[in-house]
Chains A and B, each alone.
Chain A
Amino acid sequence: MSGQVFVALSGGVDSSVAAALLLERGEDVVGVWMRLVPGGADTDAPRCCGTDEAGEDARRAAATLGIPFYALDYADVFGRQVVDRFVDAYASGETPNPCVSCNHHVKFDALLRDVVAKFGGTRLATGHYARVADAPDGTRRLLRARDAAKDQSYALYMLGQRELRRTLFPIGDLVNKTETRAIAARFGLPTAAKAESMDICFVASDYRDLVRGRAPRAFDAGPVERVDGSVVGRHAGIGGLTVGQRSGTGVATGERLYVLRLEPERSAAVVGTREEITRTTYELRDVSFTRDAPRGNSFETSAVLRYRGTPLAAAVEVIADGAILRLAAPALVAPGQAVVFYEGDEVVGGGIVRAGSPG
């Protein structure tokens, strides 16, 4: 496919190198940077790619490469689709995955649509560590990065053929981060020694402060209970708890207890032993498949339950509004987290663990 490739520049080394590699291939490259926090906002989130400071880094990278550069404003969509969802999730007892929301709704929806429809670009490239390959049947396959240690394909499972046909991950074929940095240095990119971005990029220090400010009810104190309903302690608000985390309670009995379930309507946290909190069956919502349709209504897969998690043997049954995941051995995944289906190196699809599951 010819035409212009738009590269989403974050100000970091990965996306800058992605742009450099495309240039080297002779592509017609345009740099875009997404403002994700309102202009002039006083954020001290040091790892956020959407602050004006990151935009300056992105602009310098584009200038070094000699490509056109635009700063585009996506603060509104990011606020609604990433930050609001993040707060809502914690307030309702789920554990959000903001990287998944950002890829889903901001980068590969709002931005990709603008690139194609508004600016006449043919493809969007990002600095994700993943690969897209053309299959003999004409479909595009989403694959893990060559460097397994850097692989980010987990957070891209929601891409379908419409997106994959127009998506490039130029650095997914690099051997390791050292190679990325070497390329940056070769192109004289000023990002060559920059720190890496982290998970909750838009929160400066403690995410709980954000949730507390936006959803104070999530910080109503409440009981900590065992599965049988017996109260074993108090907590300071479910907004500060995550399913699966070690609970401070139970010290007296010498048991190791973990958060099993959060019930926002009565501000209760239910805890249990490792045996009690792990399970084999989970219900998934917002299920999608990279080839748009599943191989069949039920199939065997390797399920990954968290970013860079170990693949677990599982069976998936597609149902009307989601899927049932049956793991071969019990494991824990919090509601709101993504479960991604792999077949070898290929991402087949995935979904979000439904609230109330495990229950």
Chain B
Amino acid sequence: MKRVYLDHAATTPVDPEVADAMARVLRETHGNPSSIYAEGRAARELVDHAREEVAAVLGAQPSEIVFTSGGTEADNLALRGVMQARRGLGDHLVTTAIEHHAVLDTAKDLESHGRARLTVVPVDRDGRVDPAAIAAAIEPKTTLVSVMHANNEIGTIQPIAEIGAICRERGVKLHSDAVQSVGALDFDVSRIPVDLVSVNAHKFYGPKGVGALYVRRGTRLATIQTGGGQEKGRRTGTENVAGIVGLGVALRVAAERRATESARQAALRDRIIDGVLARVPDAVLTGHRTERLPNNASFCFPGTQGESLIVALDLAGFAASSGSACTSGDTEPSHVLLALGLERHVAQGSLRLTVGRATTDADVDALLAALPPIVARLREAAAVSV
């Protein structure tokens, strides 16, 4: 059976150019970037080059890029590192109700260990954070605000520049988890007043297990693990050289293709949104209609269960997800959907379809043919079992 992959928000296939570059590193460069001899210098040069590529795309300086093991570590480093570095000066952390667990659970962990007082700002029905609500949440002792750029489940894009302007004016650092958006959207830190940005390679056709944290010069950051002092002591541990090279190439390729790919994917996304809303009775679009990621179409189908939708679609040849890939398998409705004000029984029937570089109009046609009868069947089954 031909498979149709519609879960690019979970992860993306590695770009062939990325895979080639990584394979070359694995075969040809075995040195440790910390070693001073030739083999070490060769590895160091690859890491430096990748750092330049990443910095160029983000509008940053290479020295402002810290490589990590992925988005989760970047988020942990940003929150824990900033709160720790500014201990004694401030203890208040502001975030939003729709953050990824890597941010939300880290913030709650800091709170439960007495390392932060936490304010969680709500969102509107479209999943948008009101910049005025962030402004209202900031206190004299606020150290850090963390607001994601685009949501992983519903795709809503936040007014991050406005929020950044408020934070700057109030003298508060702003972190943004941009794991879902970097690669797909232009995110230039020379224009957006943001101090820390989390990035994850496998969301833009790079390898899994490598990410980066942008740290604006002058932002104090404590290390959260101790060891050999790599990455200028900000993220210690021998560098994942092949992964870092892969991240650099992947981000450069994504930036080169962004304009054409984003427009192409947005057209596919809109076909899915319009087609599903027209063909599936009582379908609810989740997230903002226009201010959303170009590849994200997400819905709730009241009377269904997300888990059943995913199984039925898989058996029909489609890879999709019910909200976040990290929490699939849970029967608890997503915290993001509940934060939109959706009722639990509606939120339980969630489906996220995310297109990518390989997605075609024919794939969308196939989906629009397959999905309505699946939803109808699941609703019928649920009605019988009550």
Select which of A68, A70, A73 is within 8 A of B331 by beta carbon. A73
Per-residue A-contact encoding for B334-373, CB less than 8 Å = 1, 0 else:
0000000000000000000000000000000000000000
Q: Does B15 contact A (CB under 8 A)?
A: no
Which A residues touch B311, using CB under 8 A? 70, 72, 118-119
Do residues B312 and A120 form an inter-chain contact, with CB atoms below 8 A? yes
Q: Does A208 contact B (CB under 8 A)?
A: no
Given contacts A73-B331, A113-B385, contact A118 B312 (CB under 8 A): yes
In which size bucket is the chain B interface? 10 to 19
Given contacts A68-B314, A70-B311, A73-B307, contact A117 B330 (CB under 8 A): no
Do residues B329 and A71 form an inter-chain contact, with CB atoms below 8 A? yes
Do residues A4 and B329 form an inter-chain contact, with CB atoms below 8 A? no
Q: Which chain B residues (42-80) contact chain A, with CB distance < 8 Å?
A: none
Given contacts A68-B315, A118-B378, contact A39 B384 (CB under 8 A): no
Q: Does B23 contact A (CB under 8 A)?
A: no
Do residues A120 and B377 form an inter-chain contact, with CB atoms below 8 A? yes
Measured CA separation A117–B377 after assembly (Å): 7
Which A residues touch B314, using CB under 8 A? 68, 70
Measured CA separation A76–B305 after assembly (Å): 14
Do residues B329 and A118 form an inter-chain contact, with CB atoms below 8 A? no
Q: Which chain B residues (299-348) contact chain A, with CB distance < 8 Å?
A: 307-308, 311-312, 314-315, 329-331
B316: nearest chain-A partner, CB-CB:
A120
Measured CA separation A119–B380 after assembly (Å): 12
Which A residues touch B330, using CB under 8 A? 39
B373: nearest chain-A partner, CB-CB:
A120
Select which of A39, A71, A114, A120 is within 8 A of B315 by beta carbon. A120
Do residues B329 and A117 form an inter-chain contact, with CB atoms below 8 A? no
In which size bucket is the chain A interface? 10 to 19
Q: Does A192 contact B (CB under 8 A)?
A: no
Which B residues touch A4, using CB under 8 A? 315
Q: Does A30 contact B (CB under 8 A)?
A: yes
Do residues B307 and A117 form an inter-chain contact, with CB atoms below 8 A? no
Q: Which chain B residues (260-317) contact chain A, with CB distance < 8 Å?
A: 307-308, 311-312, 314-315
Which A residues touch B312, using CB under 8 A? 118-120
Which A residues touch B315, using CB under 8 A? 4, 30, 68, 119-120
Which A residues touch B331, using CB under 8 A? 73, 76
Q: Does B381 contact A (CB under 8 A)?
A: yes
State the main secondary structure of chain A at its contact with B.
mixed
Give how many A-B residue pairs fall within 8 Å (CB-CB).
Answer: 39
Which A residues touch B380, using CB under 8 A? 117
Do residues A113 and B307 form an inter-chain contact, with CB atoms below 8 A? no
Min CB distance B302 to A, Å, is 16
Given contacts A118-B311, A120-B312, contact A113 B381 (CB under 8 A): yes
Measured CA separation A119–B377 after assembly (Å): 9
Do residues B381 and A114 form an inter-chain contact, with CB atoms below 8 A? yes
Do residues A39 and B381 form an inter-chain contact, with CB atoms below 8 A? no
Which B residues touch A73, using CB under 8 A? 307, 329, 331
Q: Which chain A residues (293-347) contact chain B, with CB distance < 8 Å?
A: none
Q: Which of A68, A72, A113 has the most chain B CB atoms inside 10 A of its CB?
A: A72
Do residues B329 and A113 form an inter-chain contact, with CB atoms below 8 A? no
Measured CA separation A68–B318 after assembly (Å): 13
Which A residues touch B381, using CB under 8 A? 113-114, 117-118
Min CB distance A67 to B, Å, is 12
Measured CA separation A30–B311 after assembly (Å): 11
Q: Which chain A residues (53-81) contact chain B, with CB distance < 8 Å?
A: 68, 70-73, 76
Do residues A119 and B385 form an inter-chain contact, with CB atoms below 8 A? no
Per-residue B-contact encoding for A229-266, CB less than 8 Å = 1, 0 else:
00000000000000000000000000000000000000
Measured CA separation A172–B49 after assembly (Å): 64
Q: Which chain B residues (188-243) contact chain A, with CB distance < 8 Å?
A: none
Q: Which of B377, B380, B381 has the most chain A CB atoms inside 10 A of its CB?
A: B381
Min CB distance A78 to B, Å, is 13
Which B residues touch A114, using CB under 8 A? 308, 381
Measured CA separation A71–B330 after assembly (Å): 10
Q: Which chain A residues (19-34) contact chain B, with CB distance < 8 Å?
A: 30
Do residues A119 and B308 form an inter-chain contact, with CB atoms below 8 A? yes
Per-residue B-contact encoding for A104-123, CB less than 8 Å = 1, 0 else:
00000010011001111000
B378: nearest chain-A partner, CB-CB:
A118
Min CB distance B385 to A, Å, is 6
Which B residues touch A118, using CB under 8 A? 308, 311-312, 377-378, 381
Which B residues touch A68, using CB under 8 A? 314-315
Min CB distance A53 to B, Å, is 15
Q: Which of A73, A76, A110 has the most chain B CB atoms inside 10 A of its CB?
A: A73
Measured CA separation A117–B329 after assembly (Å): 20
B309: nearest chain-A partner, CB-CB:
A118
A70: nearest chain-B partner, CB-CB:
B311
Do residues A39 and B329 form an inter-chain contact, with CB atoms below 8 A? yes
Min CB distance A12 to B, Å, is 21
Measured CA separation A71–B380 after assembly (Å): 22
28 A–B pairs (Cβ distance < 8 Å), ordered by A: A30-B315, A39-B330, A68-B314, A68-B315, A70-B311, A70-B314, A72-B311, A73-B307, A73-B329, A73-B331, A76-B331, A113-B381, A113-B384, A113-B385, A114-B308, A114-B381, A117-B380, A117-B381, A117-B384, A117-B385, A118-B308, A118-B312, A118-B377, A118-B378, A118-B381, A119-B312, A120-B312, A120-B377
The 8 tightest CB contacts between A and B, nearest first, are A117-B381, A118-B381, A118-B308, A73-B331, A70-B311, A118-B378, A119-B312, A119-B311
Contacts beyond the supplied A114-B381, A117-B384: 5 A-B pairs with Cβ under 8 Å? A68-B315, A118-B378, A119-B308, A119-B315, A120-B377
